[in-house]
Structure 1
Amino acid sequence: MTEPARWPGDAEPAPTSEDPAQWPTGRLLFTVARRIEREWNAHLAGWELNHAGFPVLLHLLAGPRTQRELADLNGVTEQTMSRIVVRLERSAYVTRDDDPRDRRRRAVNLTDAGRRAAAAAGRYRPAEDLTSRGLDDAQAAQLRTLLVAMVRAGREQPGPEDDGATSGRDA
């Protein structure tokens, strides 16, 4: 008989149960996050968007930005942001023009079509419905409070991959 897998540093075997109540919190978060990402991407596909391009449109609502600024805001490399911007250009949601602040750079600008897509795709209710399915109002509010606390804590203390260098994470 094969011995069950063990979590590094644990004396107990890793849980192999199909019952989510037996899973570690990380597995639960990962499973829910992947489901929400798939469903959110399906929602955004109606506007030829995905989870990587949509936040770029939201950042551009505040005005033009360089690709470097967008990469920093989205926690991705400049190379990844370049691919995202190319896709948004193909959908006619953004343009790249001379940056009025620095002629050596290009600024990414939101088009009217991009503004309309951001407004339509970003309606509040669909996002809330995707993330709170199975929860009552009180549970959804509690989840939101906990997630806000986790996001804030992550901003205050860098994780192991946040060593000051630009990482390869995709948005």
Structure 2
Amino acid sequence: MTEQIWDKFLTDRDKSVFATGGFGARAGFGKKPALLVIDVSYNFCGDKREPILDSIKKFHNSCGEDAWDALPHIRKLIDTCHDKGIPVIYTTGTSRNDGWDAGGWAWKNARTEEDVTAPHASGFNRDGNDIMDEIAPSPQDIVIRKHKPSAFAGTALMAFI
């Protein structure tokens, strides 16, 4: 079994318990795999490739250049799934213009009022929840729009998977 990042925190007894209990076996892909593309939107990537500390000035949830570097790899994975007939399901946020439906998510961040929704004073003329063009959904894909951080809360995701 490949060493995991958390292994250094486990005692020998912990490791013995996991091994004896049968944990750590590869689960495989199952009989009906699906690809979930979670929140790869402009709000989480920014509108251009730039260092994260620059990107979060405009998109406070942005992952900066790391997100942009990941896009070609995500695209390749999506294309492979399409070629193999594996369903691709995207999630992204949605919210009312007044932000009322954001709930606790809004209260936990002092910059929530800056969230990018179209039109916005930032000059970005799209909804920040739009999925990145580089990995845009195809007609056969499913897009789940969610009001909360979890794609499982109040959405139809479970019905698809």
Question: Which has the higher relative contact order, 1 or 2, with Cα contacts under 8 A spaced 6 or more apart?
Answer: 2
User: Quick check: TM above 0.5?
Assistant: no
Q: TM-score, normalised by structure 2?
A: 0.33
Q: TM-score, normalised by structure 1?
A: 0.32
